[in-house]
């Protein structure tokens, strides 16, 4: 057993874990944040994508101990003070999701892209999400969603947030 | 005019999204119950083998492992076998023999997920390999080993023969034909691979005797009934149906792959009943991809007869259907080859004859589903490829040949040569729009110029007819359960409502579209309507969501239930307005007095009165249930045009443009319909260019992970273009037809036709899908066209 401390969405989570525990299982089962999903066992689908110190990573292929001490952001950390992140608004408004299973990973990749490249071309968006599989949407509206989020982030205007 | 309630034709934003974009969905693997155990499965490395022994002692010695369940254990409870949806049988766990690679052999129950996996590695199974049956043609050879010796009445791998149409007349037309074209087409095995795999949490409460199963299923009610029937025949003793609750929570994509009952669900349920603990089982991707049911696997000989002037006269198809080790297709019971005999498509021909033979091989159950479970994809591929082949033979434009042979709009309802009655269609209208919109004539000119320069560009057309909305109860049932569907609506006193439906969503947006139906029919704002589905304890009985049936069946039921409510509400409105019901009309989403529209009551006014001031002698409340038995199927259609460029260096096919003109009748939510088409096109492109499951001569699967089975990514998927025409279904309550699988059915032949078109001047007449760079490059090499 190894002691692991991770800061997830700004909150510290500590646990004694087996060294073999995957990061995605730490997030889902130790921290109980089930928005991060699992879709494969070969690092192919990206459903498990989280941001580690701001960079997208597939949490199914990392051990929790490998990222001990890191800052992790998951889908649950996107909304701040009741205000949806522009990437969430983009997916909602552009119908960028259907079953929603790939969506957390897609949004985090989109957010990381926009932080690095605030005005990406369609080709750049497609390249950024090329490690994330979506079986439902055909990607067209995901590309639009990220593009629309980019516009919102460039000119922050008040937009209505959908409520549960 | 009343305010917009968000009814038909509105792109209302989805009600389910606020939870999904916050990571607050409720998928099966998100559920954790106190005392929950985990199950993992030991699987066979062989496609065909005898099991000589299973030694679980090392696994059982591992702290945390509580049980190892084998076929012999289940057999003691008469649970080692289960029925398939096609009334065949399938092993839950084998007693002495495995019949496909990755078949479930034993299950380990442990206190933790990782310990269950450790336990799996410690179970020692001895096998004696048997010769596997891999090739379905060889499977029919009398010397072939038997896949299913348990079928004592059969001494063959042949499952069934089925045929449809007029053989004598078809043969005669072929004999008289001025021109006949013929191709052998193989539609390979493919796998739906929804991004969420399958799994369940089964929880049996020993005190109440109630079994609750959260399950990745597209058909919870049917599962409940089957579970009750299966337990009745077992030594566990029947669990009565009111003590079984199946909950299908948020589902991460289904596409038909979550219709069957997989052994894992049954073993986990048995484990919970036997231990009294909740048991969770979640497949990993390799298990999902290697062992769950597959689609297609149709070997088709397709022939088309016609006249020199381009008139098509007859179609003849002979098919070998590889069903793997069990006939587990999700077809309606009376349709062993699904709706495959809709393969005369959009063309008015005199006769057709279609034959299909089902065959067992040592593979997991095949022929089930991939965003189309009833063999319509196969049917459309056959006809749309062979029509193009005819155009090539006659040296006429494939669009012109189609235009000449379309069933004309005035011929509807149209009786097809194999017995279907098409409800409505305007095929020429859709193709004309597609050709104008994409600039067909200019593209043909461009192609000719490019061809002269040695560049390879192709234009592919597909004008398909779909058949959905199963189905009318006189012919459609699954295991005897009729394929109607249902809805229940309750309007609350303050003018909001709850709708419960018998179908279930795996991403189609039912929480939104079904609310829109009620909004339109009752004039209540869509925000005030909540839709519940997927819980058999609360939802009315239904057969589930697949084969584009939700809108044609449960959508119709929802409209009919709402209309029952409106009828009653009208009487209450008359009472409130002190008028005779005959003088009340429904307009502008309210009840108004004829000739005096200012004297009106809204549905909210009426709802309040239904609980506070209802007319004496009338029952209080405002609710209704409807079970809708469709009078016929619906026949959506479309005209797709695909433009491809072929890279002469790599052989890669690049889709430059793809325009889909769809006609699914009246539309509830255009945004959601467009999204369904985008997704469907992508799942049509996938088998056309990328995906196939193949087996080596030993029955080893060759694409067992996402490293080898290539789902389309954002890089290969083009920016789909869409448009629509609207030909309402005359028999559906609001003229809708269903759309979920149209694009998956229509896209593959459009793409294949485009590639063959690009290579047709080289004498290429057909290419089997997936059209990989390797296949194309070989042709380029043969003709000295490969660039180095
Ligand atoms: S679950 Fe991590 S990449 Fe698929
Ligand atoms: S929305 Fe279903 S996988 Fe992307």
CA distance A147 to A114: 9
> Per DSSP, what are the bridge partners of residue B602?
B590
Instruction: Using an 8 Å CB-CB cutoff, list chain B residues near A105.
Output: none
Q: Is B371 a catalytic residue?
A: yes
- Write the ipTM: 0.97
Looking at residue B546, its pLDDT comes to 78
Q: Does residue A62 have its Cβ closer than 6 Å to ligand 1?
A: no
- CA–chain centroid gap for B442, Å, is 37
Helix (H) or strand (E) holding B725: none
CA dist A87 → A71, B270, B652 (Å)? 20, 44, 34
Looking at residue A159, its pLDDT comes to 52
Burial class (CB in 10 A: 0-12, 13-18, 19+), B224: buried
CB contact (8 A) between residue B706 and residue A44: yes
Q: What is the DSSP letter of B694?
A: -
Looking at residue A163, its pLDDT comes to 52
Please enumerate in sequence order all residues whose Cβ is within 8 A of that of B569, keeping only pairs 6 or more positions apart, or say none.
B522, B591, B603, B606, B607, B610, B622
User: pTM value?
Assistant: 0.97
Q: Does residue A142 have its Cβ closer than 6 Å to ligand 2?
A: no
- Distance in Å, alpha carbon of B340 to nearest chain A alpha carbon: 25
CA distance B454 to B783: 12
Q: Which two tokens stand for residue B577?
A: 């307005």
Q: Does residue A137 have its Cβ closer than 6 Å to ligand 2?
A: yes
List pLDDT tens digits, range B248-278: 999 999 999 999 999 999 999 999 999 999 9
Test mutation, B11, B16, B18, B20, chain A, max A CBs within 10 A: B20
Residue B458 has phi, psi (to 5 degrees) of -130, 150
Looking at residue A162, its pLDDT comes to 56
Looking at residue A164, its pLDDT comes to 47
Instruction: Using an 8 Å CB-CB cutoff, list chain A residues near B280.
Output: none
Q: Is B741 a catalytic residue?
A: yes
List pLDDT tens digits, range B624-648: 999 999 999 999 999 999 999 999 9
Closest CA to B725 of B429, B410, B436: B429
Instruction: Using an 8 Å CB-CB cutoff, list chain B residues near A42.
Output: 285-286, 705-707
Burial class (CB in 10 A: 0-12, 13-18, 19+), B134: buried
Closest CA to A153 of A62, A76, A95, A85: A85
CA distance B321 to B319: 6
Q: In angstroms, what is the span from residue A95 Cα to ligand 2's centroid? A: 11
Q: Are B692 and B703 contacting, i.e. CB atoms less than 8 angstroms apart?
A: yes
Ligand nearest to the CA of B286: 1
- Per-residue pLDDT of chain A in tens (164 residues, 90 and over written 9): 999 999 999 999 999 999 999 999 999 999 999 999 999 999 999 999 999 999 999 999 999 999 999 999 999 999 999 999 999 999 999 999 999 999 999 999 999 999 999 999 999 999 999 999 999 999 999 999 999 999 999 986 555 555 54
CA distance B132 to B117: 28
- What percentage of chain B has pLDDT greater than the value 90? 93
Least confident of B189-198, B432-441, B478-487, B713-722: B478-487
CA atoms within 13 A on the CB side of A89: 20
DSSP annotation string for B26-55: -BGGG---TT-EEEEEEE-S-SSEEEEEEE
Give the nearest partner residue to B679 out of A20, A133, A137, using CB atoms: A137
Residue B318 has phi, psi (to 5 degrees) of -120, 130
Q: In angstroms, what is the span from residue B272 Cα to ligand 1's centroid? A: 29
Residue B367: band (very low, low, confident or very high) from pLDDT cuts 50, 70, 90: confident
List pLDDT tens digits, range B346-364: 999 999 999 999 999 999 9
Instruction: Using an 8 Å CB-CB cutoff, list chain A residues near B25.
Output: 35, 100-101
Looking at residue B608, its pLDDT comes to 98
Report yes or no: A143 at the B interface, CB cutoff 8 Å: yes
CA distance B22 to B573: 42
- What percentage of chain B has pLDDT greater than the value 70? 100
Tell me how many degrees the CA angle B267-B271-B273 measures, rounded to the nearest 5.
Answer: 115
CA distance A39 to A48: 7
Q: What mean pLDDT do residues B731-746 have?
A: 96
Give the nearest partner residue to A35 out of B24, B251, B714, using CB atoms: B24
> Is the pLDDT at B470 greater than 70, yes or no?
yes
Looking at residue B373, its pLDDT comes to 83
> Is the pLDDT at B520 greater than 50, yes or no?
yes
Instruction: Using an 8 Å CB-CB cutoff, list chain A residues near B250.
Output: 99-100
Q: Are A133 and A102 contacting, i.e. CB atoms less than 8 angstroms apart?
A: yes
Dihedral, CA of residue B258, residue B261, residue B266 and residue B267, to nearest 10: -70
DSSP annotation string for B513-549: HHHHHHHHHH---GGGEEEEESBTTTSPP---S-TT-
Size of interface A-B (CB pairs under 8 A): 185
Q: In angstroms, what is the span from residue B286 Cα to ligand 1's centroid? A: 12
Terminal CA-to-CA distance of chain B, rounded, Å? 68
- Distance in Å, alpha carbon of B637 to nearest chain A alpha carbon: 20
Ligand nearest to the CA of A131: 1
Atom of ligand 2 nearest to the CA of B195: 3
Q: Which two tokens stand for residue A40?
A: 């494969």
Terminal CA-to-CA distance of chain A, rounded, Å? 40
Please enumerate in sequence order all residues whose Cβ is within 8 A of that of A121, keeping only pairs 6 or more positions apart, or say none.
none
CB contact (8 A) between residue A135 and residue B27: no
Per-chain mean pLDDT for chain B: 96
Looking at residue B151, its pLDDT comes to 96
Looking at residue B494, its pLDDT comes to 97
- CA–chain centroid gap for B85, Å, is 14
Q: Is B726 a catalytic residue?
A: no
3 state DSSP class of B155: coil
CB contact (8 A) between residue B252 and residue A130: no
CB contact (8 A) between residue B27 and residue A138: no
Candidate from A38, A103, A133 with most ligand 1 atoms within 8 A of CB, to mutate: A38
Atom of ligand 2 nearest to the CA of A47: 3
Looking at residue B145, its pLDDT comes to 97
- Distance in Å, alpha carbon of A20 to nearest chain B alpha carbon: 9
């Amino acid at each position: 057993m190894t002691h692991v401390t991770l800061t997830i969405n700004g909150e510290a989570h500590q646990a004694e874990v087996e060294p073999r525990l995957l990061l995605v299982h730490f997030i889902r089962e130790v921290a109980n944040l089930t928005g991060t999903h699992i879709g494969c066992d070969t690092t192919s689908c990206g459903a498990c994508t989280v941001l580690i110190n701001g960079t997208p990573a597939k949490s199914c292929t990392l051990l929790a101990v490998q990222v001990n001490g890191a800052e992790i952001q998951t889908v649950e950390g996107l909304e701040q003070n009741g205000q949806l992140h522009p990437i969430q608004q983009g997916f909602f408004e552009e119908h960028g999701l259907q079953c929603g299973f790939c969506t957390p990973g897609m949004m985090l990749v989109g957010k990381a892209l926009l932080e690095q490249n605030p005005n990406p071309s369609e080709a750049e968006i497609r390249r950024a999400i090329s490690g994330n599989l979506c079986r439902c949407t055909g990607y067209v509206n995901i590309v639009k969603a990220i593009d629309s989020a980019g516009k919102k982030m460039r000119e922050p205007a008040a937009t209505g947030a959908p409520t549960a | 005019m009343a305010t917009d309630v968000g009814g038909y034709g509105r792109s209302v934003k989805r009600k389910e999204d606020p939870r999904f974009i916050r990571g607050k969905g409720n998928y099966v693997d998100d559920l954790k119950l106190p005392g929950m155990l985990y199950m993992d499965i030991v699987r066979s490395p062989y496609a065909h083998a005898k099991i000589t022994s299973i030694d679980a002692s090392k696994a059982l010695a591992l702290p945390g492992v509580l049980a190892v369940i084998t076929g012999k254990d289940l057999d003691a409870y008469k649970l080692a076998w289960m029925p398939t949806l096609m009334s065949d049988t399938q092993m839950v766990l084998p007693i002495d023999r495995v019949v496909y690679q990755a078949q479930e052999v034993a299950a380990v129950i442990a206190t933790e997920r990782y310990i269950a996996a450790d336990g799996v590695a410690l179970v020692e199974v001895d096998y004696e390999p048997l010769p596997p049956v891999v090739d379905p043609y060889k499977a029919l050879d009398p010397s072939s080993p038997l896949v299913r010796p348990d079928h004592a009445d059969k001494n063959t791998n042949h499952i069934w023969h089925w045929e449809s149409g007029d053989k004598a007349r078809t043969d005669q037309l072929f004999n008289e034909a001025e021109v006949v074209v013929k191709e052998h087409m193989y539609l390979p095995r493919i796998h739906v691979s929804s991004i969420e795999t399958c799994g369940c949490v089964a929880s049996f409460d020993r005190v109440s005797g109630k079994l609750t199963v959260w399950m990745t299923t597209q058909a919870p009610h049917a599962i409940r009934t089957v579970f009750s029937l299966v337990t009745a025949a077992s030594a566990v003793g029947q669990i009565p149906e009111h003590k079984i609750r199946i909950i299908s929570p948020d589902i991460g994509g289904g596409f038909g792959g979550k219709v069957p009952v997989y052994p894992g669900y049954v073993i986990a349920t048995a484990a919970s009943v036997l231990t009294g603990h909740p048991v969770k089982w979640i497949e990993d991707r390799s298990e999902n991809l290697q062992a769950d049911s597959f689609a297609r696997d149709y070997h088709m000989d397709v022939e088309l007869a016609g006249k020199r002037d381009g008139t098509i006269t007859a179609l003849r198809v002979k098919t070998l259907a590889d069903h793997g080790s069990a006939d587990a297709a999700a077809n309606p019971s009376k349709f062993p080859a699904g709706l495959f005999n809709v393969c005369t498509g959009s063309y008015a021909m005199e006769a057709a004859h279609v034959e299909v033979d089902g065959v067992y091989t040592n593979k997991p159950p095949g022929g089930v589903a991939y965003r189309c479970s009833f063999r319509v994809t196969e049917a459309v591929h056959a006809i749309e490829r062979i029509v193009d082949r005819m155009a090539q033979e006659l040296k006429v434009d494939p669009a012109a040949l189609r235009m000449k042979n379309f069933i004309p709009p005035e011929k509807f309802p149209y009786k097809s040569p194999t017995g279907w009655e098409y409800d409505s269609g305007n095929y020429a209208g859709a193709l004309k729009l597609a050709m104008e919109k994409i600039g067909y004539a200019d593209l043909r000119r461009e192609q000719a110029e490019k061809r002269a320069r040695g560049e390879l560009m192709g234009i592919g057309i597909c004008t398909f007819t779909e058949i959905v909305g199963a189905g009318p109860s006189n012919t459609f049932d699954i295991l005897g359960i009729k394929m109607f569907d249902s809805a229940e609506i309750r309007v609350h006193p303050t003018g909001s409502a709850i709708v419960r439906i018998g179908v279930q969503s795996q991403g189609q947006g039912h929480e939104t579209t079904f609310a829109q139906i009620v909004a339109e029919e009752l004039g209540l704002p869509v925000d005030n309507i909540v839709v519940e589905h997927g819980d058999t304890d609360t939802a009315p009985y239904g057969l589930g969501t697949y084969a584009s049936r939700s809108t044609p069946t449960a959508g119709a039921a929802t409209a009919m239930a709402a209309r029952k409510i409106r009828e009653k509400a009208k009487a209450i409105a008359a009472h409130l307005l002190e008028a005779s019901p005959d003088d009340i009309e429904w307009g502008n989403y309210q009840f108004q007095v004829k000739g005096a529209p200012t004297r009106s009551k809204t549905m909210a006014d009426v709802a309040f009165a239904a609980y506070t001031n209802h007319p004496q002698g009338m029952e209080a409340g405002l609710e209704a249930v409807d079970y809708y038995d469709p009078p016929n199927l619906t026949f959506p259609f479309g005209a797709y045009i695909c433009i491809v460029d072929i890279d002469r260096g790599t052989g890669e096919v690049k889709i430059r443009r793809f325009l889909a003109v769809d006609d699914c009748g009246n539309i509830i939510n255009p945004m959601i319909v467009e999204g369904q088409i985008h997704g469907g096109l992508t799942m049509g492109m996938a088998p056309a260019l990328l995906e196939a499951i193949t087996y080596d001569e030993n029955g080893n699967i060759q694409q067992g992970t996402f490293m080898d089975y290539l789902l389309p990514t954002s890089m290969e998927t083009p920016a789909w273009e869409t448009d629509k025409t609207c030909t309402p279904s005359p028999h559906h309550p609001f003229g809708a037809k269903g759309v979920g699988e149209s694009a998956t059915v229509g896209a593959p032949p459009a793409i294949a036709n485009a590639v063959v078109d690009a290579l047709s001047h080289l004498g290429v007449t057909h290419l089997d899908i997936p059209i990989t760079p390797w296949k194309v490059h070989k042709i380029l090499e043969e003709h000295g066209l490969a660039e180095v």
